[in-house]
Amino acid sequence: MPEVESIACQECGQLHRYHAIAPGKTANCSRCGAVLYRNRPGMLDSVLALTLAGLTLFVLTNVFPLLGLRAQGAEQELHLLGASLAFWDQGYPVVAGLIVLNIIVFPVFELLTLLMVVLTIRYRWKPSMAIFLFRWMREFKPWGMLEVFMLGVLVAVVKLGDLATLIVGAAFWSFAGLILTMTAATALLDPFSVWRALEKNND
Amino acid sequence: MIKHKALLQCRVCGCLSHAPTQLKRFEVMHCPRCGARVKLAQQSTSVEVTWALLIAAAILYIPANLLPIMSVYMLGAGQPDTIITGVYHLLEAGQWPLALIVFVASIVVPLLKLFTLSFLLISIQRRSRWRQYDRMRLYRITEYVGRWSMVDVFVIAILTGLVQFGNLARVDANLGSLSFAAVVVLTMFAARTLDEHLIWDIAQQEEAQA
């Protein structure tokens, strides 16, 4: 395909010619300065490691309680799923569904897609499934809201601070770790290189 | 999607492809690399769809702010909170950094989003060439910041999930939270459907005509 040699900036549409760059270097758009592509040796291995760590942390986050509250001898615990479905019990199933998507479905989808993409490139599998998943992962990206939820947890913790005795659960820390690993994976991943590598698998 | 001498760019993966010389009515073009739909300039409904979503969001913004979003019951006595009274209670308790976070995420950001997207749409419809680079930056910021408005919905979810001690202390969600969640979702869709490349296309079309 001759189109591969010409590329357009994803931000502003400026046309550029693709040329190989040295390891560790970044190519930027001449008009708006956005990153066009990067040459990062070992990117796939780092993303693979972060994805596996992320999946492990996600399981831990679901198993242990996120927060606990003790008031007048009574105790209440909150798990990640409980927080997602709290609106359901209150008679707002649509909002509950939205939250389940935001903090469970889309983050898991992103982790599994990254795993699939990295393995496909590494073992030169047929790329059609990975291409399909990666495309939808990019479309769903804004709807995964782990870091926004974490800010919500922090606000709730301070709000409840003087009301009762608050217990910060183990899942709170694995959740924080999950956010860090997913942010790192996003920062490391160069979509241009991934698309190029997936395309090459077809040849 | 951009038009560059009959070259089209996929919005999802960035792949360039040639525009078909003839496209039948209702015919859809797909990106050769990732399969996402690539719209031709004459097929773009971006401006109309974004306006529809924005107007819907602006209408729902009213009940989102007037109706209570949650009620806190202490020893049987209930106290419903709207977004603004929630911020006020935080200020009263001396937790002004928290009040600031909630105020910005729940009131400033959705309102700014409604205004910014309307401004961008109007400037596109007027075929403005004014500060295109800055307008694109404005779009990027708006698109990125929008999701943080969900923070208040999450806070309500955590409080209602955690504080259920019967008559002693209880937090319930109210209808305002549903309207507010709808505003966030609608404005996120509006930011997504607005094709920011339209900001640049005007200049290119005029250059091509000259």
Restricting to A residues 64-93, those with a Cβ less than 8 Å away from any Cβ of B are: 67, 69, 71-72, 74, 76, 78, 82-87, 89-90, 92
Residue A191, chain B, CB below 8 Å: the answer is yes
Residue A3 in this model has a pLDDT that exceeds 50: no
Q: What pLDDT is recorded for position B8?
A: 81
More confident of the two residues A117 and B7: A117
Closest CA to B13 of A50, A8, A201, A128: A8
**Whether A129 contacts chain B with CB within 8 A:** no
Of A84, A132, A155, the CB nearest to B101: A155
Of B12, B136, B200, the CB nearest to A138: B12
pLDDT of residue A7: 86
ipTM of the complex: 0.90
Distance from CA of B26 to the nearest CA of A (A): 23
> Which residue reads 């951009």 in tokens?
B2
Tell me if B9 and A78 make a contact (CB, 8 A cut-off). no
**Chain B environment of A156 (Cβ under 8 Å):** 155, 158-159, 162
Residues of B in contact with A159 (CB under 8 A): 90, 95, 98, 155, 159
Q: Do A7 and B157 touch (CB under 8 A)?
A: no
For the record, the structure tokens of A88 come out as 């359901």
- Classify strands A74-78 and A67-71 as parallel, antiparallel or unpaired: antiparallel
Stretch A109-133: mean pLDDT: 94
**pLDDT reported for residue B74:** 83
| Nearest residue, CB atoms, A145 vs list B101, B147, B164 | B147
For the stretch A175-192, pLDDT in tens is 999 999 999 999 999 998
List, as one string, the DSSP characters of chain B: ---BTTEEE-TTT--EEEPPS---TT--EE-TTT--EE--GGG--HHHHHHHHHHHHHHHHHHHHHS-SEEEEETTEEEEE-HHHHHHHHHHTT-HHHHHHHHIIIIIHHHHHHHHHHHHHHHHHTT--TTHHHHHHHHHHHHHHGGGGGHHHHHHHHHHHH-B-TTSEEEEE-HHHHHHHHHHHHHHHHHHHS-TTHHHHHHHHHHHH-
Q: What is the pLDDT of residue B13?
A: 85
A57 vs B24: which has the higher pLDDT: A57
Q: What is the mean pLDDT of each run of 10 residues along chain B (210 residues)?
A: 62 81 73 83 82 96 94 84 91 89 93 94 84 86 91 94 86 94 95 82 63
Lowest mean pLDDT of A4-8, A116-120, B100-104, name the range.
A4-8
